[in-house]
Structure 1
Amino acid sequence: MNAPPVRLAIHTTRIILVGDSTVAPQTGWGGLFCGLHVKEDVACLNLARGGRSTRTYQTDGLWSLVKDELKVPGYQANFVLIQMGHNDKSLDPIIGTELKKEFPGNLRLFVEEARTLGATPILLTPLATRHFKSYRINNTLLPWAEQVEKIGEELNVPILNLNKQSAALFQRLGATGSAAFSAVAPTESERKAAEDGTTLAPRLPKSTPITAETPVDDPRRKFTQDYTHLNAAGAEAVSALVASGLAVASPELRSHLVP
């Protein structure tokens, strides 16, 4: 009687994405990272959500969800990619965090709790925005990126400096070229400003938000760009940066990625 065939064990690595809208599906790079840049032995779970800071990611229960996921058995290894900063920079007292104490303190908590649950945390500095001033990237997120690097060095965590890499990419493309990554095509005013090397910022009073019923000639519709979120082309370009950067920052992940 022939012996039954030996079935090989399936080993699956899991990557969990933690972040804000610049990582989340549809508005960030995370969807195409999971779709294009991981191999079939990887389960890629995008738990990034728009509007969250390191504080509200906790208070809204999202970090608890990450920890619950890490308790699910059966994975050969778990990696938690953490990219925060855009909303921590907010002036909203509920959302924004203090740069030098609260923000790094929250990152430290994420790292330590992920490690306690057996996962490998990896820190990413925040994606650069596509704001330009006199033909140069106006990198207002640099102080937040520096805090991420400090925590990574302090806790010996792999760091992917996405802020630096994405800023370099956008700088190469210039203000007009990088506008191709925006979800909404620039208006004539925005296009002209980009050609002159300095992007325009939206001026939309919070007390009078734009809705679907707002007339197309309403002056508040003059500026449509946020220079932050990504369309499919932008997500594809940035997710490729993330994949290639991770292959260097975390050699353990290299064989699981498609750069």
Structure 2
Amino acid sequence: MKHKLTLLLGLFFLLSAFRADKPVITIFMIGDSTMANKPLTGGNPERGWGQMLPGYLSEEIRVDNHAVNGRSSKSFIDEGRWEKVISQVKKGDYVFIQFGHNDEKSDPKRYTSPGGTFDGNLKRFVNETRAKGGIPVLFNSIVRRNFGTANGNVVAQAISQDDIQKGVNPDARREASEQPAAAESDKLIDTHGAYLDSPRNVAKELGVAFVDMNKVTHELVEGMGPVESKKLFMWVPANQVAALPKGREDNTHLNVYGGRIVAGLAMDAIAKEVPELAKYVRHYDYVVAQDGSGDFFTVQEAIDAVPDFRKNVRTTILVRKGVYKEKIVVPESKINVSLIGQDGAVLSYDDYAQKKNCFGEEKGTSGSSSCYIYAPDFYAENITFENSSGPVGQAVACFVSADRVYFKNCRFLGCQDTLYTYGKGCRQYYEDCYIEGTVDFIFGWSTAVFNRCHIHSKRGGYVTAPSTDQGQKYGYVFYDCRLTADDGVDDVYLSRPWRPYAQAVFIRCNLGKHIIPAGWNNWGNKEAEKTVFYAEYESTGEGANPKVRAPFSRQLKNIKGYEPETVLAGVDGWNPLKNGNELLVIKR
């Protein structure tokens, strides 16, 4: 017994090693307010570009942003902030270093000299990072939006942490009042001087990767011009944002849009200078994040932002980790949307059929869904669709009324009526998905293929309730799926017909012992037995009992005509198995 226990413990630790927590690499960021994470209270729209960087990286990378408003290389060290960072750096981690804005200040607590103390501090960051086995990357400062005649006052713009907490930006106000009244030119005037050269020179001397953020942002801002470039910075009218009741005209600090744009440009530049990071770079049209690192806080905001009928190209939306409690609608005009989730991205709501709407009427089954998909060519990957209302009757997690819809590695959580394949004449493909429920938890009119999916029954009932229309060639087809159940559940049917011509076929599926021997149910209607098409092919597992199945079901001798690509082809030849989520070129 002792040897068995040792063996089991060894196996547990071995499996644990293979399930090592992500991420495996950390990017530590040290710098000033242009890089820092900003508070979100009061709808504050300010963002540092480092705050937005996670939306451009895969989950193998973790961003740990230690940049702080108002800090120079000197004050960052003197306040013990560098000591805290370097103590956490391990071999293979990166340290991104960007100072300069506040090293320029005359304040003795922050001032450093380019070519002197500034360079010395940068060298310290580099050498101590390398001593820990880390990889330093040097950046110079992003540009200030300074069109027109240069003036010395424009340098003093960094916000202190106290200012941010109070919602005050005295430096930005000072800058606005001291700008010349003359019309701005179309050329940017540099405000950083030799402070831009120090990171470049140190990088060259020590053989360190250098990213010229000033050049990157100079080209961006000057290219947009004096008017359009304001969209990148904290130009906020009065009485529009709770955090900034008096408004702000700030040419140093980025807003949400500017932060995302600059972070994307930075990530591309980083990938060129540090090729080892290129494989982790991801670009999405929109990012949804609850921590402020995205374009939006809610998934619905991102869906609403997708241009209507954007043809021949996908709009990609990353949903970062979090439970998003919102009812989501993907309307018919938002075609070609790809919704990609990080691990732990959950779209959840708690409506149910008997719940009352604002008029005191029951919402009904269709009205209970957490998510509605009406737009064709929708793609979802690594997203959890959840109805969290529990065992309260019909409560849909996902309502799909669209053609050519593809779900990959998604989860559908609920009880009764979890997944509603609503669209008549629509085709849906589910690959490596997990679907759970109690009664009729996969139901509806659509043609749907479930490939290598895990289907889990939480109590006795029916896995499917198809309502296939008469004359429709295919209903539900399950390929190589695994059917399981909670402990003690032993009375589950594969299907019952919601409508007379229901179709469901299980091909090479592993059926748990919870599937009763008869397998199929007629929903108390003997006439339905004459029209339904219920069949299996080479079922395995304890629930596979071909000799005692309901007499109106069939055991297929071959699966000719039931290949997934055949079932899904329709008249346009849609084949997600071969082409993935590529858009189908439809000749009109």
TM-score (norm 1): 0.79
Q: Is the 8 A contact 2:234 2:250 kept in 1?
A: no
Alignment of 1:84-103 (within 5 A): 84-103=99-118
Counterpart Cα distance in 1 of 2:278 and 2:233: 30
- 2:27 aligns with 15
Counterpart Cα distance in 2 of 1:46 and 1:116: 21
| Bigger relative contact order (CA 8 A; separation at least 6) | 1
Aligned counterpart in structure 1 of residue 196 of structure 2, from 145, 166, 180: 145
What's the RMSD between the two structures over aligned residues? Answer: 2.3
Aligned counterpart in structure 2 of residue 29 of structure 1, from 46, 49, 59: 49
Q: Is the 8 A contact 1:179 1:186 kept in 2?
A: no
Alignment: residue pair count: 221
Alignment of 1:44-123 (within 5 A): 44-70=63-89, 77-123=92-138
Q: Is the 8 A contact 1:12 1:77 kept in 2?
A: no
Counterpart Cα distance in 2 of 1:170 and 1:52: 24
Please state whether the residue corresponding to 1:177 is helix, strand or coil: helix
The superposition leaves residues 75-102 of structure 1 with CA deviations (integer Å, 9 ceiling, x where unpaired) of x620000011000011212211112201
Counterpart Cα distance in 2 of 1:135 and 1:186: 23
The superposition leaves residues 165-222 of structure 1 with CA deviations (integer Å, 9 ceiling, x where unpaired) of 10000000111111112223268xxxxxxxxxxxxxxxxxxxxxxxx99xx7xxxx9x
Identify, as 1 or 2, the structure richer in strand.
2
Counterpart Cα distance in 2 of 1:37 and 1:19: 19
**Which stretch shifts more, 62-71 or 47-56?**
62-71
Alignment of 1:150-189 (within 5 A): 150-185=201-236
Please state whether the residue corresponding to 1:69 is helix, strand or coil: coil
Counterpart Cα distance in 1 of 2:204 and 2:192: 19
Amino acid at match of 1:58: I
Amino acid at match of 2:278: R
Please state whether the residue corresponding to 1:87 is helix, strand or coil: coil
Same amino acid, percent of matched pairs: 30
Aligned counterpart in structure 2 of residue 249 of structure 1, from 247, 257, 273: 273
Name which one, 1 or 2, has greater alpha-carbon Rg: 2
The superposition leaves residues 136-155 of structure 1 with CA deviations (integer Å, 9 ceiling, x where unpaired) of 11121242111110000000
Please state whether the residue corresponding to 1:21 is helix, strand or coil: coil
- 1:207 aligns with none
Please state whether the residue corresponding to 1:171 is helix, strand or coil: helix
Structure 1: gaps (5+ residues): 188-211
Counterpart Cα distance in 1 of 2:34 and 2:225: 20
Counterpart Cα distance in 2 of 1:231 and 1:162: 17
Structure 2: gaps (5+ residues): 1-7, 39-46, 149-184, 239-243, 284-588
Counterpart Cα distance in 2 of 1:186 and 1:160: 33
Residue 115 of structure 1: CA displacement?
0.5
Aligned counterpart in structure 1 of residue 140 of structure 2, from 95, 114, 125: 125
Q: Is the 8 A contact 2:34 2:49 kept in 1?
A: yes
Amino acid at match of 1:231: N
Counterpart Cα distance in 1 of 2:209 and 2:233: 30
Identify, as 1 or 2, the structure richer in helix.
1
Counterpart Cα distance in 1 of 2:132 and 2:92: 11
Q: Give the direction of change, closer, same or farther, for the CA distance of 1:142–1:252 in structure 2 (3 Å limit).
A: farther
